[in-house]
Structure 1
Amino acid sequence: MYRKTLILVFLSLQFATAQQSMLKDFPEGYHPEEIGKLIAYRFVYAKHALHAGKWIGYPETFYWNGTLRFAELTDDAFLLKAMKNRFEPLFTTEKALLPIKNHVDLNMFGSLPLTLYSITKDQRYKELGIPYADTQWEVPENARPEEKAWTEKGYTWQTRLWIDDMYMITIVQTNAYKVTGDKKYIDRAAREMVMYLDELQRPNGLFYHAPDVPYYWARGNGWMAAGVTELLRYLPENHKDRPRIMKGYLKMMKSLKDFQTPEGMWNQLIDEPDYWAETSGSAMFAYAFITGVKQGWLDAGTYAPAARKAWMALVPYVNAQGAVSEVCVGTNKKNDKQYYYDRPRRTGDYHGQAPYLWCINALMEK
């Protein structure tokens, strides 16, 4: 009996090791560090991507965050210095490019200086970043009645029930929690996430772009997948909202596994087999799978092969200059199915560059 138990334990360990190796051992040309260097170094001399032509936009913010994490994981002093140098003018000559604090797509900028603070401990970054988290819950005097109504229920006045919000809100509040240890920030993110899950998650586990736009847009669902994953990474195990959030995450992951194409990607509209494979959403889903397997939230036997398949499918979309192709351009909601199919596709769009780095960083993390 004892020998049989030992054999079963040994076989179980072998299986677990084999599944984990699926996210470590890649053929030449597919190594995460190799692809990551192409994408990260492309950003060193890249131009700003401005929101409304005025302020640092969220796609650039997330590209920057991903590059910083890649520099940290690879101990790349040159890349880290380049990212700090890129930011320095925002304290002086480029200060006008700092986003104002009146929208989810702008307040999320705070996640960037908070990331820099967590790496450098330079107090200037913290002092710049925290107000972006705080003002998300401070109602301005000119707020509309519906915005004030959200705050009366304990949510941010910037709530709009677009699934994109669940990365934009989550990332800045979670980063504020990471650098301060103040529980109010993680509580805010968790409360907001529970409400969005209750309001927007469909019976199949996916999300419409918005309540009045009944389409499963890939990147929109990607924002949710990445946001809930990021939140779960830092939400305390004993947090009262963790069971509800984990339930929503697992339900979404199962559906995504079912809709993954034979090639390993996901389509522009997830449930439309005749639509084109879209890279930014696919990378976000791969990130959620990789992290879930490594954190033990997802069954490795089921999801490690799916995560590997996604990564192997994603890499060929990266060219020799580190630019990702087949990226859907920035997309507002619209109750028109053809609108989503007809969205232009770009190469090197920051909407795609950042999620690739999230995947790469997740693959490289212990």
Structure 2
Amino acid sequence: MKQTIQCLILALGMAQLHPVVCEAQSKKAMADLTKWPAGASPQEVGKRVAEHFVLTPHTNFGRTTPPRTITYPETCTWYGALTFAKQSGDKQLVQKLVQRFDPMFGAQDTLIPKPVHVDATVFGSVPFELYMQTKDNRYLEIGKRFADKQWDNPEGPHVKPESQDYLNRGFSWQTRMWIDDMFMITAVQSQAYRATNDKKYIERAAKEMVLYLDSLQKPNGLFYHAPDVPYFWGRGDGWMAAGMAELLRSLPKESQYRERIMKGYKTMMASLLKYQAENGMWRQLIDDAESWPETSCTGMFTFAMITGVKNGWLDAATYGPAARKGWLALITYIDSNDDVREVCEGTNKKNDRQYYLDRKRNIGDLHGQAPVLWCATALLR
């Protein structure tokens, strides 16, 4: 009789435990960033988008005419394609991306922008990556010219009265307090550090990031498109999210700025978690339920969360499912031509909600292609 009761108690305990075990297994599966449905793996998706980029002529913000110099959306996509090629071990893809640069050592050298503005200076992240993968010093020389100019004497049409003051205080003279800057500046400076191991690059980028966080981040962790434009525009905030993730993954742990940046990053990620739609997307205006799902910001936020989970900055059980949902939602917007749909066109600030809701939704815009490649890379790291 006693043995029978013990058996019943054991059976009851197992029955009660079973749903808990199933729930735990389900949560683990939802947070898994390594196993994917057929066609959804970062290897497959990244390869498609990167190979499509290789065949894409130099773009000019949707215009039919070729650009005078390489634009920042192309730089960001090129950088993403290179990091994806490295993480996936695709040497043929690396070679194709090297060949894309080759003409700029000769007749097409005018395509290399002059580093006199943040949008132009971010170009340096590409030659730095090419140097790290090929060890060709020609790339290093170009990259350093861009990174160094950002903290050199102000020059060019974008110099403002406050430019020299920023430089005197240890910041880049290219500082303009636009949230886009926190990818444009930190990407090239982080790449300079990775390529040279000189801490001055990463430290000055971190100091710059703290300036922007202290000046622009709202209590909810998000950022207005501009101080006089009280809207949380998706891609603008995406540049901040991606920029903090890029910086933190290389910023030395002993840096005096790391704690402050990590606080800003985590506060932003917690807020983004609340605004992610059930299907995994984020919106053109992050906190506006009537706003349309937008792919470039979704890719940038997903990249930032993947990077946080992979590096242990974010709780995997909480943010893993969000990152997985973001990736699986994002790739449904890639069409049969490997172009990403629903990409907000280039957007200047305007204190008008309807202006943001009515922005053109592009297909194949490199603003949207780039974050897909960043995500694929981050998932493979």
- Class of the TM-score when normalised by the shorter of the 2 chains: over 0.9
Q: What is the distance in 2 between the residues matched to 1:15 and 1:263?
A: 21
- The Cα of 1:15 is off from its aligned counterpart by 7.2
Distance of aligned partners of 1:141 and 1:361 in 2 relative to their CA distance in 1, 3 Å threshold: closer
In structure 2, the residue corresponding to 1:145 is in which secondary structure? Answer: coil
Larger Rg: 2
1:166 touches 1:193 (CA, 8 Å); kept in 2?
yes
Match of 1:181 in 2: 197
Are positions 1:23 and 2:33 aligned together?
yes
Match of 1:5 in 2: none
Maintained 8 Å contact 2:31/2:317: no
- Offset, 1:74: 1.9
Match of 2:69 among 17, 38, 55: 55
Query: For residues 1-366 of structure 1, what are the structure 2 equivalents within 5 Å?
Result: 18=28, 22-50=32-60, 53-140=67-154, 143-365=159-381
State how many pairs are aligned. 353
Write the distance in 1 (CA, Å) between the matches of 2:239 and 2:29: 26
Kept in 1: contact 2:224–2:231 (CA 8 A)? yes
Shift of 1:343: 0.9
Contact 1:16 1:300 in 2 (8 A): no
Q: What is the alpha-carbon root mean square deviation over aligned residues? A: 1.8
Q: What does the per-residue CA deviation read over 1:197-217, in whole Å, with 9 as the maximum and x for residues that have no partner?
A: 000000111001111211100
Partners in 2 of 1:27 and 1:141 — Cα distance? Answer: 51
Task: Give me the TM-score of the superposition, normalised by structure 1.
Answer: 0.93
- 3-state SS of the aligned residue for 1:325? coil
| Contact persistence 1:173–1:189 (CA under 8 A) | yes
Gaps of 5+ in 1: 1-10
SS in 1 for 2:324: helix
Equivalent residue letter for 1:128: I
More off after superposition, 325-334 vs 189-198: 325-334
Pair 134,20 (structure 1): closer, same or farther in 2 beyond 3 Å: farther
SS of alignment partner, residue 93 of structure 1:
coil
Residues 147 and 158 in structure 1, CA contact (< 8 A), matched pair in contact too: yes
Structure 1 residues 5-38: Cα deviation after superposition (integer angstroms, max 9, x where no partner): xxxxxx9xx9799369611111112111111111
Instruction: State the TM-score, normalizing by the size of structure 2.
Output: 0.89
CA contact (8 A) 1:161 1:211 kept: no
Indicate the SS of the match to 1:137: coil
Q: CA, structure 1 residues 57+254, in 2 after alignment: closer, same or farther (shift >3 Å)?
A: same
Give the C-alpha shift of residue 140 in structure 1: 2.7
Give the deviation of 1:134 after TM superposition.
0.6
Contact 2:28/2:317 (<8 A) preserved: no
**Structure 2: gaps spanning 5 or more residues:** 1-20
Contact preservation (8 Å) 2:116, 2:155: no
- Structure 1 residue 50 displacement after superposition: 3.8
Equivalents in 2 of 1:90, 1:343: separation in Å?
Answer: 34
Deviation, 1:344, is 0.5
**2 CA distance for matches of 1:192 and 1:136?**
12
What amino acid is the match of 1:155? F
Shift of the alpha carbon at 1:361? 0.9
Residue type of the partner of 1:247?
Answer: K
| C-alpha distance after superposition, 1:146-168 (max 9, x if no partner) | 11111122111111111000000
